[in-house]
Amino acid sequence: MAPTGSSVPGGDHPSPGTHRTHLPSVRPSLGAGQVEAADLGELSLEAGGRRLSVTLAYRHDGPGPDAPQVLVVHALTGSADAAGDWWEPLIGPGRALDTTKVGVLCANLLGGRYGSTGPTSISPVTGRPFGVSFPQPSARDEARALWALADRLGIERFVLATGGSLGGMIAQEVALERPASVDHLLPMAAPAATGPMAIAWNHIQLELIDALGDRGLELARQLAMTTYRSEADFDERFARGREADGRFSIASYLDHQGRKLLDRFDPDTYAVLVRVMDGHDVGRDRGGVIEAFRALARARVAVTGIGIPGDILYGPDQIRALVRAATAAGADARYREIHSTKGHDAFLVEWDQLTSIIADALADGIALGVGKGVLPLEAVAGAA
Ligand code: COA
């Protein structure tokens, strides 16, 4: 684990709700290329209640803040290890996020399962894991925690903030939390507000977990997997095939995926992060989505919304609506697609298309940062 630090670098505009106390005296490290932990002190959550002492697990690859920085946010059950695991083909020397030229930060979300403070952490009140008593963060709390981490690391701006699904939702809140500190926002398969169909699927998953605990988590994952893929994908891979034991192959596949999640996750964490997703609505208390996005327009944050035809969870119509709202707000916004038979999960598998999309958005973010006069030309030489 990395040492953690006491001063609050880059903290001239700390996020509301963030109170950093008792921070150790050494700044957490940058560019280590492995998952580390940073103590962020106490954060207050939108829901109120006791302030929460927060540690976030993070991974930073590449150069520090003298070079452009990129924020990558993970999806529902992801980890800080984008560069070594779930987005590995996109991050590293010579890749879309070329870590010889740009710094890349990814953190395990507050409430997550991979090293950040969450339901499996020990409650200072009871001395036992929080479990269901873990305070519920909102997507905005998640964004504030990420900014608190950036402050702690001395990162003042991101030329690009991106992520898929829940990660794309939180990336939006990251940009809205400090619009003047983000240049390009790239949400993938993530709407401006979670719609009723997704909430419906999430509701059934939460009910399963509530009723059945671990078994409920397995079944929740099975249900979720049917929303992450597509009819074409299942037809192509499983058709009406059967396993040796007589089960349909698709049933066997879902059983496997459910068990696999249970091996690496827990029901309380899953429920917390599903509720973050349910509550996502950039327009809440901001006069609606268009009004919210006006802050991006004012700060000249460009937006590229990525839709995936065949995504039944957060499909193209929802992403086009996000882009329309951003455009109506006056932002420079565009819509692009990933073509795939995979459905929602395309943002985790279609590497060639992702490479092109991310490279374009990064180049645009860097050009914007230079144009705004906030990125010195020497810092970005060759970075795009
Ligand atoms: N019966 C049992 N298991 C089967 C099977 C069958 N008929 N067919 C395939 N499998 C197993 C494989 O053996 C393999 O097991 P392993 O992962 O333990 O090695 C697994 O299923 C492969 O899964 P698959 O979905 O085919 O992988 P992929 O390469 O197409 O996709 C990921 C990779 C990372 C996208 C995918 O595995 C995943 O995790 N998807 C969910 C991600 C997610 O959470 N998305 C939503 C974010 S909100």
pLDDT tens-digit series, residues 52-82 = 999 999 999 999 999 999 999 999 999 999 9
With beta carbons less than 8 A apart as the criterion, state whether 75 and 164 touch.
yes
Ligand 1: residue of 345, 347, 351 to mutate (most ligand atoms within 8 A of CB) is 345
CB distance 242 to ligand 1 below 6 Å: no
CB distance 165 to ligand 1 below 6 Å: yes
- Residue 137's pLDDT is 98
Ligand 1 centroid – CA 253 distance (Å): 8
Residue 169 CA to residue 313 CA, distance in Å, equals 13
Better-scored residue on pLDDT, 14 or 46: 46
Closest residue by CA, ligand 1 atom 45:
345
CB distance 311 to ligand 1 below 6 Å: no
Q: Which of 110, 161, 149 is nearest to 2 (CA)?
A: 149
Greatest CA separation for the chain: 65
pLDDT at residue 308 above 80? yes
Residues 6+ apart with CB under 8 A from 124: 53
pTM (2 d.p.): 0.93
Strands, sheet with 182-188, edge to edge from the N-terminal-most edge strand: 18-19, 35-43, 52-61, 103-107, 69-73, 158-164, 182-188, 302-307, 333-337
Tokens of 145: 């925690």
CB distance 149 to ligand 1 below 6 Å: no
Closest residue by CA, ligand 1 atom 42:
345
Active site residues: 165, 311, 344
Closest residue by CA, ligand 1 atom 8:
253
Which atom, in ligand 1's list, is nearest to the CA of 342?
A: 30
Ligand 1 centroid – CA 88 distance (Å): 17
CA distances from residue 169 to 59, 112, 139, 143, 278 in whole angstroms, order as listed: 20, 16, 7, 10, 10
Closest residue by CA, ligand 1 atom 12:
253
pLDDT tens-digit series, residues 354-375 = 999 999 999 999 999 998 988 8
Which atom, in ligand 1's list, is nearest to the CA of 313?
A: 48
For 56, the enclosing helix (H) or strand (E) is: strand 52-61
Ligand 1: residue of 109, 228, 253, 264 to mutate (most ligand atoms within 8 A of CB) is 253
Which atom, in ligand 1's list, is nearest to the CA of 224?
A: 46
CB distance 192 to ligand 1 below 6 Å: no
pLDDT tens-digit series, residues 258-289 = 999 999 999 999 999 999 999 999 999 999 99
Using the 8-state DSSP alphabet, how is residue 233 labeled?
A: H
DSSP code per residue over 76-120 = TT--S-IIIIITGGGBSTTSSB-TTTSEEEEEPPTT-SSSSSSTT
The average pLDDT across 87-107 equals 98
CB distance 82 to ligand 1 below 6 Å: no
pLDDT at residue 220 above 90? yes
Confidence grade of residue 350 (pLDDT, cut at 50, 70, 90): very high
Which atom, in ligand 1's list, is nearest to the CA of 257?
A: 21
- Residue 22's pLDDT is 59
Amino acid letter, residue 8 = V
The pairing of strands 52-61 and 103-107 is: antiparallel
pLDDT at residue 24 above 90? no
Residue 127 CA to residue 50 CA, distance in Å, equals 16
Q: Is 69 helix (H, G, I), strand (E, B) or coil?
A: strand
pLDDT at residue 131 above 80? yes
CB distance 19 to ligand 1 below 6 Å: no
Q: Which of 310, 24, 328 is nearest to 152 (CA)?
A: 24
Q: Is 200 helix (H, G, I), strand (E, B) or coil?
A: helix
With beta carbons less than 8 A apart as the criterion, state whether 141 and 110 touch.
yes
CB distance 76 to ligand 1 below 6 Å: yes
Better-scored residue on pLDDT, 24 or 115: 115
- Residue 384's pLDDT is 59
For 65, the enclosing helix (H) or strand (E) is: none
What share of the chain has pLDDT > 70, as a percent? 92
CB distance 237 to ligand 1 below 6 Å: no
Tokens of 247: 């089960």
Ligand 1 centroid – CA 236 distance (Å): 14
Confidence grade of residue 382 (pLDDT, cut at 50, 70, 90): low
Weakest mean pLDDT among 26-35, 168-177, 323-332: 26-35
Confidence grade of residue 25 (pLDDT, cut at 50, 70, 90): low
CB distance 147 to ligand 1 below 6 Å: no
Number of neighbouring beta carbons within 10 Å of residue 36: 20
With beta carbons less than 8 A apart as the criterion, state whether 31 and 103 touch.
yes
With beta carbons less than 8 A apart as the criterion, state whether 162 and 303 touch.
no
Closest residue by CA, ligand 1 atom 43:
345
